[in-house]
Amino acid sequence: MSTLPTILLVDDEEHSLASMRMALEDDFDCITATCAEDATRLMEENFVHVIFCDHRMPGKTGVEFLSEVREKWPETVRIIITGYTETADMIAAINDAGIYQFLTKPWHPDQLVMAARNASRLFKLTRDYDRMSLEMRFLGRTVENKLESRRKSLREGLGFENVLRASNSPLNATVEQARQYASFDVPVLITGEPGTGKAELARAIHYSSLRSDHAFYEINCAGMSDELLMVELLGAKRGALPGVPSNKVGLLQKADRGTLFLNGVDTLSPQMQMILLRVATEGSFQPLGGHEVLTTNTRLLTGAHSDLLRAVESGRFRNDLYYALAITELGVPPLRARIEDLPILAQHMLFELGSHHGKAVRGLSELAIEFLSNYDWPGNLRELENELTRMLIAAQDVLLGPELISRHILQADPSLTQRDGSAEADVLAGEGTLKDRVEMVEMRILRETLTRLKWNKSRAAAELGLSRVGLRAKLDRYGVCQPGKINAENEED
């Protein structure tokens, strides 16, 4: 099979065809036709790169034939050979047939070869360009699809699936409400104790909303001075403050078309409440040190650690700002109210901590989870993460046991139904005789010491200043026994 470019020669004069073939056959695969009908048939049967066609032929003229070729095979390069140079014919050929070049008779063989080579090169370049354009369009669509896939994965990874909880969690009702609110472009006020996961819920709302392709920012207003908070939120012009050497873009401008989560709004000063009211109702703000008024299309999600409605009633929080922020409201329960979620939360946190600190970990033992579940966690998720971090650092095994848990958590009484205070507070504020309350403390100390020492009774007795017999008597008295070994004494020294 020939690898030379194919050229179709069309002329009603046989000697002209023979002359053209003789000039071109060393460099090209030449096929010939004496009329437009035969030429069309050859075009259908062959992959033609270039056509040399006489203009004046019986039946269809060269321009008429090449006009049809342009419709069916537009990539084929078309060249007219003519003995006439009428301007009207040349214009018609260019407009109707898209002629690449005119050759006038008599032509020189070198001229014909040069025209054929240039036309063949143009054909190849055009084909390469079309192929590359197609590939670029395909790659563009592929990149767009991959980008959209990554965006979808990101949204799913940061959406409500990231709010960990058990199947029967009290948080489920809050999450279902949040799902409904996510698709409506309205402010949401999220209330809950510090460390309950308000920021995670706000992030899930953003990545499940129509703004998920845009930025999400969060800032905790608690403990920030008005000056610093204004710089962070509104931005500042150069020289507005000693610590602002250049123009600073604020979060309200950065979060335009996205979402901004303001946590701790219950701590805002009257001045900041007034500024936030303008943002919430008008979408406008003024950078620090600037004179122009900027606008922002930012969805405001806010978090409060205390009851804002009570703050409104007491006059500490603006009534109009409260209703601007609390069009929809969510309440996040504390960890003590969703203790069913603790095993999932603790194991997940531990694996993330192990990965972050580069330490292998297999999880928490059942007994460790049991002790952790008996504690009230006044610091909520932050306190749990801190405790797990300490346990991970001290661990010598990949499975973390209860001996690594802090003493005050081990001493928590599992029989307590109310989880609103420390062990010390339970004793001091509890009811009963002095003897009963002292015995409660003694029982907790026994449980904590034995758990920490892995139920080595000899070491526990020595640490507590008791004999083995005395320790055993107290254990029997309080009904304290090693989990999984009821009525079986651990004699390990």
Same fold, 6-128 and 161-333: yes
pLDDT, residue 237, reads 85
Domain 6-128 of CATH type 3.40.50.2300: yes
Write b or e for each residue in 199-228: b if 16 or more Cβ atoms lie within 10 A of its Cβ, otherwise e. Answer: bbbbbbbbbbbebbebebbbebbeebeeee
Mean pLDDT across the stretch 124-132?
A: 83
pTM of the model: 0.60
**Range 144-152 contact pairs with CB under 8 angstroms and sequence separation of 24 or more:** 151/212, 151/213
pLDDT for 55-67, tens place per residue? Answer: 888 888 888 888 8
56 Cα distance to chain centroid: 68
User: If pLDDT is split at 50, 70 and 90, which confidence band does 417 have?
Assistant: very low
pLDDT for 97-120, tens place per residue? Answer: 788 888 888 888 888 899 999 989
Strands 284-285 and 29-33: unpaired
Identify which has the larger pLDDT, 337 or 453. Answer: 337
pLDDT, residue 84, reads 66
Identify which has the larger pLDDT, 168 or 265. Answer: 265
Mean pLDDT across the stretch 240-269?
A: 88
Would you put residue 377 in left (φ > 0), alpha (ψ -120 to 50) or beta?
Answer: left
* Helices 226-234 + 270-282 axis angle, to 10: 20
Domain map of the chain by residue range?
6-128, 161-333, 337-478
Both tokens assigned to 339: 């203790």
Count H helices and E strands in the chain, helices first: 20, 16
Check if the beta carbon of residue 247 is closer than 8 Å to that of residue 256: no
Q: Which fold has domain 161-333?
A: Rossmann fold (3.40.50)
pLDDT for 338-361, tens place per residue? Answer: 999 999 999 999 999 999 999 999
Give the DSSP H/E element, type plus range, for residue 262.
Answer: strand 259-263
| Amino acid identity, position 423 | A
Q: Identify the CATH number of the domain defined by range 337-478.
A: 1.10.8.60
**Beta-strand (E) ranges in 317-404?**
328-331, 363-364, 399-400
Residue 135 has pLDDT above 80, yes or no: no
How many Å apart are CA 206 and CA 208, to the nearest integer?
5
How many Å apart are CA 245 and CA 236, to the nearest integer?
10
Q: What is each CA distance from 117 to 4, 76, 148, 340, in whole angstroms?
A: 11, 13, 46, 81
DSSP string, 81-114: EES---HHHHHHIIIII--SEEEESSPPHHHHHH
Q: What is each CA distance from 446 to 206, 401, 433, 465, 471, in whole angstroms?
A: 49, 17, 20, 12, 9
